[in-house]
Structure 1
Amino acid sequence: MPTGVTLRDAREQLFDAAERVLLRDGPSGLTSRAVTTEAGCAKGVLHRHFADFEAFLAELVLDRIARMESRSAALCASAGTGTVAGNLTRALSELFGSVAVAVVGLVISRDGLRARLRRAGSTGVPLLAEATAQLARYLAAERERGRVAADADLDTLAPTLIGAAHLLFADRDGGPVAPEAVHRVVTTVLAGAVPVPERPDRT
């Protein structure tokens, strides 16, 4: 298998092409031919870098999961600034405003892909599981600062926020989701877990 810059560039070109096809045509339209056509390369290019199409899709999902780490670090770094609801609104909008919803649909629709991801160590629904852990870490950081109630059940709050936001963004035919709508969902889920009215920490 080729290594170095050539491989990295080919992978990224193919991954980016796959995302465009996925967003445009949905999981059923995502084929190896569609990806290589979108990327403007011969079909053999994909198979030179990946054992098969399922392996390609698994690497795509794992790559997008890895990219979430920088978002997770940024969210945790925001603890103690702004408001908890505001920080979560931005984080959820960034997550679901990206290709994440489409990738989740792809994983759910392909049994073979889910099996590969489980063998790679991914648990639950890929991307959503990692995003849930990300929110739980952030909420724990805010709880340490006293901006989330000491008795708040973070193991319930985090997946509830992810699930509610996913449903909000999953209706692509409904047009873009307004930040105000995301904020309403967040504040509803957090009711009782944060001070009311919530004020920014200016320390």
Structure 2
Amino acid sequence: MSEAPKTDHAYDGIEEYDNPLPGWWKWLFIASIVFCPFYWVYYHNGAKGRSIQDQYGVALAENTRLQFAEIGDLKLDGPTIARFMAKDSWVKVGESVFRANCVSCHGREGEGKVGPNLTDEAFKNITVLADIGKVINNGAGNGAMPKWSNRLHINEIVLVSAYVAKLRGQNVEGGRPEEGNKIAPWPEPVVEEESDEEGDAKS
């Protein structure tokens, strides 16, 4: 029989060994409790830029700047938007811009909330592909759609325009009813050689 000490209580004849936690574990637990308020004050109630979200935003912005260095400053026109619609990696950048700035009005999938549904075939302020960029850049509806030229890089506007254009025709379930007029299909993007594309983007 083991001679290990036991607690002074038993349940239905079942006894329990007295195995206290190690002292180092107890002190580590106490130290973590003492540390928590300081952590909260520094990262969540301190100076702007300290929070994990702020640091992530800075890192994301830096990564985006590095990516944009590959393509230079893009032109905000129909052919450029159409060209980047065919590039899935850049459309994903446009999607991240959309998710960060547009979901409160247009919904997470573009189905429409306060703003119109972007997944159907009807448009209120769009007649040609280039108009998507113009609306995002300059705003529309007497301020109902704010202008983003003072908040987004020109490349972000081009890429989010490409993402929005690709939402057309998906007809997400539960979306707002169609608003506006039906328009002609988007033009087919012209696939270019990588070197030519980079030269055009930087010119």
Query: TM-score under structure 2 normalisation?
Result: 0.29
Q: Greater share of strand residues, 1 or 2?
A: 2
Higher helix share: 1
Normalised by the size of structure 1, how large is the TM-score?
A: 0.29
> Greater Rg, structure 1 or structure 2?
2
